[in-house]
């Protein structure tokens, strides 16, 4: 197995990874970026992005990520398509294996592996993704202004998305699998006190309806077995996200879901020289613009770390 040494290894692409690459490359750190299995991250599955600054007319998600990549490449970031399949942070410098083929020894590592939205697993849901099916109301809700929509979920995220949509949509159905919600009491009260939100208790989605775009959903009452249909234009899945952090579990601190922990106000992890950006550590905002911001933080933190290491070297 071949081995190479780098100053900065960026694991993952998307807004945080590419932003980290831009800053690191401009600082002369010659970063190597391994894209991961989904180059560009979640935005590559988003048709229209209208809330990222600098795109006054909006932009197609994949095109936006191509723009980010081109900007990183302009400053000579070494972008490689592949997967980091394992890491070893037990000693310094850090090690990573790419595609089980070669080893990178890195003086600093910026983790930008993101998170993946959880879906119900229905074929119709997958077929209509980006054609009325979404996992982000804040990202896509504007496109359904004035239309009736549904949200699936029972936690705080679902409650937040339902109340957000209720401000711009005349009717919001909240599909809850049990006869109670998991959301915090205050979020439950907000849902129940919002007149244009109708909670469908003991309900599961049997099918998302529509050929080329969402036109409705067939709902199964899991107590009575009765099926009914609702007419909607947007179907929002809010049953959680899974951070793509499995390969780091033996080395880095993470919460019960898998989001990596950082020192407050930084991108620093519990291991010296390892930094985290974007949705791999952000369970709250999960927006492209906040991910890009933390990408900047990761690169600046890595730059300062490497400068200190260089200063401390014996003459």
Kindly report, residue by residue over 7-17, the tens digit of the pLDDT.
999 999 999 99
- 4 pLDDT tier (thresholds 50, 70, 90): very high
Average pLDDT over every residue of 295-313: 91
The pLDDT assigned to 171 comes to 98
Helix, strand or coil for residue 140?
A: helix
**Do 112 and 127 belong together in one domain?**
no
Structural domain ending residue among the three candidates 237, 270, 293 = 237
**Together in a domain, 228 and 130:** yes
Q: State which of 237, 268, 303 marks the end of a domain.
A: 237
Domain boundary among 237, 267, 289: 237
Same-domain pairing of 151 and 195 = yes
**Continuous segment of H or E residues that includes residue 77:** none
The answer on pLDDT for 189 being more than 70 is yes
Confidence of residue 315 (pLDDT cuts 50, 70, 90): low
**Same structural domain for residues 138 and 193?**
yes
Q: Does 209 have pLDDT greater than 70?
A: yes
Going by the DSSP 8-state scheme, the letter that residue 213 receives in this structure is: S
Examine the domain organization and report whether 208 and 129 are in the same domain.
Answer: yes
What is the chain's mean pLDDT, rounded?
Answer: 94
Q: pLDDT value at position 143? A: 93
Residue 23 is predicted with a pLDDT of 98
82 and 20 inside one domain: yes
| Residue 58 scores a pLDDT above 70 | yes
How many distinct structural domains can be found in the chain?
2
Question: Higher-confidence residue: 138 or 245?
Answer: 245
Question: What is the average pLDDT across 65-87?
Answer: 96
In the structure encoding, which two tokens stand for residue 231, read together?
A: 């007419």
310 pLDDT exceeds 90? no
**What amino acid positions are annotated as catalytic residues?**
136, 139-140
Looking at residue 133, the DSSP 8-state letter turns out to be: E
Query: Quick one: 230 and 182 in the same domain?
Result: yes
Per-residue pLDDT, 309: 84
266 pLDDT above the threshold of 90: yes
Mean pLDDT over residues 112-134, rounded? Answer: 94
pLDDT of residue 314: 60
Same domain, 287 and 181: no
What is the residue whose two structure tokens read 């990222």?
52
Quote the tokens at residue 258: 């898998």
**31 and 49 share one domain:** yes
- Which pLDDT does position 276 carry in this prediction? 98
Same domain (yes/no): 200, 299: no
Do 233 and 245 reside in the same domain of the chain? no
CB 106 within 8 A of CB 9: yes
Q: Is the pLDDT of residue 313 over 80?
A: no
Q: CATH no. for residue 11?
A: 3.50.50.60
Q: How far lies 32's CA from each of 81, 102, 155, 182, in Å?
A: 11, 14, 38, 42
Positive or negative: CA dihedral 8, 263, 241, 23? negative
Give the whole-number percent of the chain exceeding pLDDT 90. 86
Chain centre distance of CA 145: 24
Asked if 262 and 249 sit in the same domain, the reply is yes
**Domain span holding position 43:** 2-116+241-312
């Amino acid at each position: 197995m071949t081995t190479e040494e780098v100053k900065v290894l960026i694991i993952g692409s998307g807004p945080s990874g590419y932003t980290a690459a831009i800053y690191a490359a401009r600082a002369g750190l010659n970063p190597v970026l391994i894209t991961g299995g989904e180059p560009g991250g979640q935005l590559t599955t988003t048709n229209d992005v209208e809330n990222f600054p600098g795109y006054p007319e909006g932009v197609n998600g994949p095109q936006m990520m191509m723009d980010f990549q081109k900007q990183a490449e302009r400053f000579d970031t070494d972008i490689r398509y592949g997967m980091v399949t394992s890491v070893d942070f037990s000693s310094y410098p850090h090690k990573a294996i790419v595609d089980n083929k070669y080893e990178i020894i890195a003086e600093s590592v910026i983790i930008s592996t993101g998170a993946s939205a959880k879906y119900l697993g229905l074929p119709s849901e997958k077929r209509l993704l980006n054609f009325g099916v979404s996992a982000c109301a804040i990202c896509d809700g504007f496109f359904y202004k004035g239309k009736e929509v549904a949200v699936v979920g029972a936690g705080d995220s679902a409650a937040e998305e339902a109340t957000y949509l209720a401000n711009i949509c005349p009717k919001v159905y909240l599909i809850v699998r049990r006869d109670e919600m998991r959301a915090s009491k205050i979020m439950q009260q907000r849902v129940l006190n919002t007149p244009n939100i109708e909670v469908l208790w003991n309900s599961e989605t049997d099918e998302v309806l529509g050929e080329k775009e969402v036109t409705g959903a067939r709902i199964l009452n899991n107590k009575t077995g009765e099926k009914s249909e609702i007419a909607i234009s947007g179907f929002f899945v809010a049953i959680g996200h899974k951070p793509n952090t499995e390969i780091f579990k033996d080395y880095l601190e993470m919460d019960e879901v898998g989001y990596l922990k950082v020192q407050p106000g930084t991108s620093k992890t519990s291991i010296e020289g390892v930094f985290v950006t974007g949705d791999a550590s952000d369970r709250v905002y999960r927006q492209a613009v906040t991910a890009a911001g933390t990408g900047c933080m990761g690169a600046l933190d890595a730059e300062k770390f490497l400068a200190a290491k260089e200063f401390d070297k014996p003459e």
